[in-house]
Chains A and B, each alone.
Chain A
Amino acid sequence: MRLLISIKEGMSKRISTLALLLALVAAFPFAMSASGHDDGGELDVKEIIFEHLGDGYGWEVPFAHVYRIPLPVIVKSEDGKWFCFSSDDLTEIDVTENKETGKVTKHLVPVVKIIKKDGKEYRFTLAKEGDHKDKVVELIPDGNGYREYRPLDISITKNVAALFIAAILVTAMVMGLVRYYRRKGLRAPRKGMGFFEMLVSFVYYDTIKSTLGESTKRFAPYLLTCFFFILTMNLVGLIVIFPGGANLTGNIAVTLVLAFMTFVVTNIFGTKHYWKEIFWPDVPLFLKFPLPIMQMIEVFGIFTKPAALCVRLFANMMGGHIIVITLTLLIFIFAAFGAGVAGGATVISVLFSIFMLLLDVLVSFIQAYVFTLLSALFISMAVVKEHEHNAEGDEAYPQKEHRDRQEIAEEKKALADLAKEVDA
């Protein structure tokens, strides 16, 4: 009872702290309008959302619109030469002062980077408009002007850097656990390592092993790597400032590669039975002989499965990011209606953003899990043997039932043994 009261007290304390924080947040727009500090210019919501969802050559730092952490740009020019330079060289800070109000505004504007190589001048800049907007383009002299050429671009962009950070984090976690095992042997790890190990065991025993059965050992490393890489990318993407903030798994290129990997693994390890199911399934003859209807559907299915994986992860993560950004932008949209409205909108949008971010943490986990589970399922369908195959596309379930039955039999036996012992 006392414990309950103390919990309640703690809760009410926390709630009052939260209320205070929200009040401060609500007061922020008043302070802003009072000080007359304003960046000016119209708010381009679509532009901001797309900037946050998309990639960039530099990495934003908090509280500074015009500063970016420079990252290397690596491009191959039209005549086949490689160039590597800092992303800082592509932009500069443009300071303009409004003469009437005395307000100073700063903008980041693209500039032309000129590199001399082998006696020739190469010009690179960020495209201002067109198909390659905000991407690096090479300016090639064309008559009296320049034409834009989009070079082969393997720059270490914000997303690529975030990708490396995520990969390093996963490696560090796994190797940390391995090192722990090397040092402490069979002792169970505690705290963070314990949680990580719990996740590994959850994914390995409850997802991979229960789906793949005897071919677990062969595919577990791939599936585990998938799960933890996706999970880390998802979670790092939710952190708003520097090491995070990159919308990685909400980028179709990333999910495309992941889905492609599953596609490759599924089809490389596909058994004879798997291919037979595709090109000569057990259906009435008229469905497959003169007109290969079933074959067409099955072949189509080979590609739709990984495509679904790709789009599911991409859409879920991007949706989460869009909602959080939109909710945050509500503050600035409502700012136009005066301080009072902005204060109210701030409270609501902060509360909703927190809720959405927490939901996104859950979604991050669920999507990583779903991707791994479905990959395991597709692989198990591809490596299935003739005698294991029961129902169309439902190999995992009969196996599970079979195992359950076996378990029940074992339990019964154990109980019988126990009874015998008791009798004895």
Chain B
Amino acid sequence: MELFTPDFGLVFWMFIAFILLFLVLAKWGWPVIIKMMDSRAATIDQGVEDAKQAKEQLDNAREEAKKYVVEAQARQAEMLRDAARMKTEIIEQAKNEAADAARKEMDAAKAAIEQARKEAELQFRNEVGRFSIDIAEKMVRNQMKSDKAQTELVNKLLDEIEKN
């Protein structure tokens, strides 16, 4: 049977063709393709991983942002409260200071008035003293115009001394 007996020429060329094909493809063909398919698969896997991580990070970032917003709001409220308190404090203080100043002013005025009054009183007393002395002198002089009165007085005084 011709079909079942291998023909030498065909075996020979098949051998050469196969070896050549194998050498060419093993050197420049398959390794490149396999490397490329592997690296593409790796890239896709990496991409999926990256996307997952990115989503996680985004979620985390969102949460963090929310936290910051809440914190900021709390701080704002606190600041507003502080400001209000400070305002009332400042007003109070100003009021007190104003009251103090007014009191001091009043005290000083009172003291000055007192001083003035005392001086006036003293002056008045001196005036009154002088007037009374003047009046007494004038009265004395009037009474002592006659000699009889004078002698009478001297006698009276002498009597008094004698009595003692």
Contacts and interface: CB of A to CB of B under 8 A. Distances in A.
B5 interface: yes
Given A153-B9, A225-B21, A253-B6, A186 B36 contact: yes
Interface in A207-249: 217, 220-222, 224-225, 229
Contact of A253 (B10, B28, B31): B10
Contacts of B29: 171, 174-175, 178, 221
Interface string B34-50: 10110110010000000
A200 B28 contact: no
Contact of B33 (A156, A170, A200, A261): A200
A388 B11 CA distance: 37
Interface stretch (A160-168, A287-295, A364-372): A160-168
Given A50-B3, A225-B21, A253-B7, A201 B26 contact: no
A309 interface: no
B3 A252 contact: yes
Interface in A148-201: 152-157, 159-160, 163-164, 167, 170-171, 174-175, 177-178, 181, 186, 188, 197, 200-201
A193 B37 CA distance: 13
Given A53-B3, A155-B9, A171-B25, A224 B17 contact: no
A229 B21 contact: yes
A398 interface: no
Contact of B14 (A133, A177, A178, A257): A257
A261 B12 contact: no
Nearest to A161: B13
Interface string A249-260: 001111011100
B20 interface: yes
Contacts of B20: 167
A27 interface: no
A315 to B, nearest CB: 10
A214 B85 CA distance: 77
Given A156-B13, A157-B9, A178-B33, A252 B25 contact: no
A333 interface: no
Contact of B21 (A152, A160, A170): A170
Contact of A181 (B4, B18, B36): B36
Interface of B: 2-15, 17-18, 20-22, 24-26, 28-34, 36-37, 39-40, 43
Given A160-B13, A224-B30, A257-B11, 8 more contacts: A50-B2, A154-B8, A156-B13, A251-B6, A251-B10, A252-B3, A254-B10, A258-B18
